Structure 1
Amino acid sequence: MAAVKSPLTETAQKVTGNALQGALVDLIDLALVAKQAHWNLTGRNFKVVHEHLDEIVDLARQGQDDVAERAITIGINPDGRARTVADRTDLPQLEAGYLAGDKVVAAITDALAQIIARFRERITETDESDPVTQDLLIGLAAELEKQHWMFQAQL
């Protein structure tokens, strides 16, 4: 089986690959958490929050595809397997069962804040190792920050 030859040095590939793998795990779990909340949401603002959660899911799913494709482009095999995500995620998990809208908004706001902080670290880490990946991460961080603002405004 042929491997993809990386345009990066071995050191840059490793730094960038770690940043992309971390971003992939964050985005996969964000999509799962948001969809779980979407299915179990209750409360007065149900419709607005329910539909907004789908925006988060769409953003996270598109982002994870972009991140995984960037990883393979630089010769890194992305790992989005369920066990990998479960073992490596840093996001707090939602409770099982029905979820009150205000708790969901607070949980998603917190999850987005945590992910954004990690994305900003990855942006700094990839400054020298790969500006192309850094640009991808900057774009995703901007979208995550926009969603964070919109959820935070509902608190």
Structure 2
Amino acid sequence: MAVVKSPLTDDVRNTVGQALQGSLIDLLDLSLTAKQAHWNVTGRTFKMIHEQLDVLTSLARTGADSVAERAVMIAVNPDGRVQTVAHETSLPALEPGWLPEDKVIHAVVEALSGTISRFRERIDAVEADQVTQDLLTSITGQLEEQHWMFSVQR
């Protein structure tokens, strides 16, 4: 079995690994939340919100993959199992059933706000690893763009 050796010291790797794992959980749950809203949104602006939720889902899934692959690069095992995501998520759950557009927009803005806040904390925490910091910064910028796009619909 091949062993991945980390280019980082153990202390830095542990800190960065925790930041990456937390980011993975946020992004996986954000992708699931966005897709759930995508399937259940109702209202006059359904089509626009429906399509924007697909953009958010794709962004979150791509970000999750990048975060998980970065973890592997530094010899940290990412854990994206559904049980782990369900147990560790910080995102509020959507209501079941059909969701009026105003509730979807509010829920997505709140989910993005919390996710962005946690990402910004992680960016500061991983300052010893500029590669991870750049990755988290890039994802945060994309999340902030989505936050803006949903926020202006309130």
Same fold (TM over 0.5): yes
Amino acid at match of 1:61: R
Amino acid at match of 1:80: G
Query: Which residue of structure 2 aligns with residue 54 of structure 1?
Result: 54
Query: Which residue of structure 2 aligns with residue 36 of structure 1?
Result: 36
Query: Which residue of structure 1 aligns with residue 111 of structure 2?
Result: 111
Tell me the SS of whatever aligns to 1:30.
Answer: helix
Alpha-carbon RMSD = 0.5
TM normalised by structure 2 equals: 0.99
TM normalised by structure 1 equals: 0.98
Task: State how far apart, in whole Å, the 2-side matches of 1:24 and 1:9 are.
Answer: 22
Query: Which residue of structure 1 aligns with residue 130 of structure 2?
Result: 131
Superposed counterparts of 1:68-79, under 5 Å: 68-79=68-79
Q: Count how many residue pairs are aligned between Structure 1 and Structure 2.
A: 154
Deviation at 1:3, TM superposition (A): 1.9
Task: State how far apart, in whole Å, the 2-side matches of 1:17 and 1:126 are.
Answer: 9
Query: Which residue of structure 1 aligns with residue 99 of structure 2?
Result: 99
Deviations 1:119-142 (A, max 9, x none): 0000000012x1100000000000
Tell me the SS of whatever aligns to 1:127.
Answer: coil
Structure 2: runs of 5 or more not aligned: none
Q: Percent identity at matched positions?
A: 58
Deviation at 1:2, TM superposition (A): 2.5
Query: Which residue of structure 2 aligns with residue 9 of structure 1?
Result: 9
Query: Which residue of structure 2 aligns with residue 147 of structure 1?
Result: 146
Amino acid at match of 1:148: H
Moved over 3 A (4+): none
Tell me the SS of whatever aligns to 1:3.
Answer: coil
Deviations 1:60-103 (A, max 9, x none): 00000000000000000000000000000000000110000000
Amino acid at match of 1:146: E
Structure 1: runs of 5 or more not aligned: none
Amino acid at match of 1:78: P
Task: State how far apart, in whole Å, the 2-side matches of 1:72 and 1:24 are.
Answer: 12
Amino acid at match of 2:64: Q
